[in-house]
Amino acid sequence: MSIAPLTLPGMAILASLASALIALGSGRAPWLMRGLCLPLLALAGVLAAGAGVGVLNTGGAALTSLPLGLPGHPWMIALDRLSGLFMLLIGLVVIAVSVYAPGYLREYEHGEDSLPALGFFSGVFIAAMMAVVLAADAFGFMVCWELMSLSSYFLVAFQHQHSANRRAAFLYLLMAHIGGLSILLGYAVLASHGGGLGFEAMRDAALTPAWATLAFALAFLGFGMKAGLVPVHAWLPEAHPVAPSHISALMSGVMLKVAVYGFVRFCFDLLGNIQTSWGVTVLVVGAVSALLGVLLALMQTDLKRMLAYSSVENVGIIFIGLGLSMVFAASGAPTLAALALVAALFHSLNHALFKGLMFLGAGSVIHATHQRNMEQLGGLLRRMPWTGLFVLFGALALSSLPPLNGFASEWLTFQAALQAWSLHNGLLRSLIPITAAMLALTGALAAACFVRAYGISFLGLARGKSARKARETGWGMRAALGLLAVLCLLLGVLPTPVIQWIEGIPRELLGTGLPHATQHGWLWLTPVSPATASYAPLWLALGLALAWGLTALLLRRGAVRKITRGNAWDCGFGTRNARTQYTATAFSQPFGRVFGMLFQVDAGLREDEGGGTPRYLSQVSDHFWGWLYAPVARATLLGGRLASHLQSGHLRHYLGWTLATLLLLLWMIS
């Protein structure tokens, strides 16, 4: 086959690696980072996005081999519609991060942290994610997957002088390797039955239902752990907050979607013959992840930790779509399976954009205030108007409000769930509406979460000196936020052209697409049929813009009486100040009381470090730490202490253990 379509993604990977190598010299010449390394990453993003648009627009697939890998098993790389969508996703976020980073990294140029290490591992991390998406054999996939995990570990541990960063990095690396081992075993099942490491051979593997279920379980555990699904999500709220903000945008916006890509590739493309039980498992885990993720996000006061838990929520929404697609595919409803798969893939793209926007926005706030605690912010909209405007777009998109892109993809997911009546299985007809109700509750809680986050951080009065001294960031940081905000608006107002691109993916994987998606034209989205439901976001956006413009015109001409401002009755209190404002903890307290059984809350009066007036503080922790991770940690430490007794220091003891091991091995193989 022709390898011409692989030229652009190959050049993108080379540009990322070149950026990584040049960054090694930025210690003595910091200008190299701004003047050469980051422009190379921007070029890599443009090339990756161009490659993705090209293959999504024209279709087809390109496949070739590289003189690497194992003897007799060269590395295979391929570019089809599925990998093209994720190349586009990677490219868009990388472009924004590359524009944002020069202003953000200035404070690292003369500090204690290693700028060369940050630039080197950033370039390797981006190149590895692109290579994972292009890999067409298990060996190359796993090498690039582990390279992605290892390079991101060094980025999480970048400011390693803090113990919390080292702890988060170790937890991330440990869970990444456990997940990688699970994925490797899943590929081993396919390779052993398919007769090769290439994806082409694995597609022809003849698996019994038991072996297929084992392969699915291993892949779901491995990719779900990297994606941040409950209960294997513990690394995510620890690692994302401690990484530099532009790296957090890459990890949450892109790396989690690479895990989604791996799961879709493994289950829909390589494994095939999907079983109903697999879809039910994915659907239930996705629904629980979405609901628990947004509840935990709602209880956080740390901006980046809140966004990390929000990523758990949105990954759960994506897997709800994937679970619905698997259920419909196994039940003989390929058109509905295609609709749910399109919804999941579209939400993957949308989440990359608005979560990248929000993490970069949080980075701008931290850059201006050196503060991540929402309780110490407030009043930032007056001091950082452009940042506040762009972050508002991200908050609206995360809240799934029209006409932003988050609503469009979540609406498609609801449309797929509402077709459960067409299934013949009564249990599924009952289960799917329950998960749809959980998704609706998740959407309402997400709106409350980001009303709280935006209102506490950007509105009202400044709660601390750092917020009062905040100033707007540089043009590069604002331009990156603006780019992602515009994309969130465009994909929300004009989703149909993008869905037409994505529709080719289920045509390749499931054999069918969405026959009625554009029946009313490109301005209308009709996922099932025109008689069932339709959505015209452009008309909605124009109506909102017209209403806003008309109101502004009437106010200017005096046709509508302006509100007269006066002193408010303040219940006998004195002048309004920051301490009389609603706090983030107070806002979330009712939710904590209602859903308190789902997480552990430690609340009460705490004195300040230097004494003084006690404050009411609330600390929320995840039940899964006590239920799952703490017992494993205790068992590991106990095993280590028991194993330490083997090191007695006497040679005869070591020889005895060696003899016992040899006898055991002889008994096992005889």
The average pLDDT across 141-152 equals 94
What is the amino acid identity at position 257?
K
CA distance 392 to 481: 11
Identify the band that residue 553 occupies on the pLDDT scale cut at 50, 70 and 90. confident
**Residue 571 parent element (H or E):** none
Half-sphere exposure of 132 (CA within 13 A, CB side): 30
pLDDT per position as a tens digit, 111-136:
677 788 899 999 999 999 999 999 99
Q: Cis ω on the peptide bond leading into residue 231 (within 30° of 0)?
A: yes
Cβ neighbours of residue 347 closer than 8 Å, sequence gap 6 or more: 314, 317, 318, 321, 406, 409, 410, 412, 413
CA distance 415 to 458: 35
Least confident of 53-57, 123-127, 589-593, 658-662: 589-593
Torsions phi, psi for 600 (to 5 deg): -100, 125
CA angle 242, 244, 248 (to 5 degrees): 80
CA distance 530 to 54: 30
pLDDT value at residue 403: 86
Percent of the chain with pLDDT over 70: 89
pLDDT per position as a tens digit, 614-659:
666 667 767 676 667 777 767 777 777 777 766 766 777 778 878 8
The count of residues in the chain is 670
CA distance 575 to 535: 48
Pairing relationship of beta strands 615-621 and 62-70 according to DSSP bridges: unpaired
C-beta separation of 24 from 128 below 8 A: no
Identify the band that residue 580 occupies on the pLDDT scale cut at 50, 70 and 90. confident
**Eight-class DSSP state of 111:** S
The owner of tokens 């409350």 is 448
Residue 159, helix vs strand vs coil: coil
C-beta separation of 334 from 328 below 8 A: yes
> CA nearest 355: which of 409, 296, 314?
314
Least confident of 204-213, 239-248, 503-512, 574-583: 574-583
The average pLDDT across 436-463 equals 91
pLDDT value at residue 670: 64
The average pLDDT across 589-602 equals 74
Beta bridge partners of 359: none
The average pLDDT across 412-421 equals 89
> CA nearest 595: which of 201, 355, 351, 295?
295
DSSP string computed for 415-451: HHHTTGGG-S-HHHHHHHHHHHHHHHHHHHHHHHHHH
pLDDT value at residue 2: 44
In whole angstroms, what separates CA 19 from the centre of its chain? 24
**Residue 618 parent element (H or E):** strand 615-621
pLDDT per position as a tens digit, 483-497:
999 999 999 988 888
Structure tokens at 477: 């940081």
Q: Cis ω on the peptide bond leading into residue 39 (within 30° of 0)?
A: no
Residue 183 pLDDT > 50: yes
Residue 317 pLDDT > 80: yes
Q: What is the dihedral of CA 448, 582, 585, 350, to 10 degrees?
A: 30
pLDDT value at residue 1: 41
Structure tokens at 463: 């709660």
Half-sphere exposure of 452 (CA within 13 A, CB side): 29
pLDDT value at residue 517: 65
What rounded mean pLDDT belongs to the chain? 86
Going along 24-181, which residue ranges are E strands?
62-70, 73-79
User: Could you tell me which residue, 536 or 51, shows the higher pLDDT?
Assistant: 51
Q: Give me the sign of the Cα torsion angle 15, 249, 410, 524.
A: negative
In three-state form (DSSP H/G/I as H, E/B as E, the rest C), the secondary structure along 31-42 is HHHHHHHHHHHH
Torsions phi, psi for 620 (to 5 deg): -110, 130
Describe the chain by its helix, strand, coil percentages, rounded to 5. Answer: 70, 5, 25
C-beta separation of 349 from 318 below 8 A: no
